[in-house]
Structure 1
């Protein structure tokens, strides 16, 4: 069900009582909100169709990531909102592949980095070379 229009809603008795919906055709059809029975809201007399869209589940962590990274990230202006959300979802799904302040690249399991600095002789060939070439005399 992608998009649909609705002209009728089916409500249970508890909603009818809570919202004070008057189903009898007295003077006007009205509803009230909670215990405030003095203020009545009238249903509009004309028929209009209400567009109902499919509600997608919201991933709170993804929304938090978008809000935190929105000022740092530069996303192309040529992308549509749908394309931006797909990119954000893809980055969120593979977030383990990226380094962060709390988790540098060496902290990722199976991507450990061991760097050994050798300061003992014999030096590797690139370190034996002088930093600057000798000036011609």
Structure 2
């Protein structure tokens, strides 16, 4: 049993990268836990944001500054539910907002 745990840990360590978030970074937060967003659940956005990271809580969670419409939500996200925000290039995609 110990060998299987060691093997699984070894595989996890090889494929897992620790997220590199810093305060003031822009991130997108997953909407999987946002149950009361209006509209059809199937058509809602997968990620909301961008949000600014306000505080880091260890390696596994971050606190973000939420927009006014999401102010009733908990501003702390586990790092598994956020991803870095990448702005789209205005020259390549002129019609995007």
TM-score, length of structure 2 as denominator length: 0.22
TM-score, length of structure 1 as denominator length: 0.17
Which gives a bigger RCO, structure 1 or 2 (Cα 8 Å, sep 6+)? 2
- Structure with greater helix percent: 1
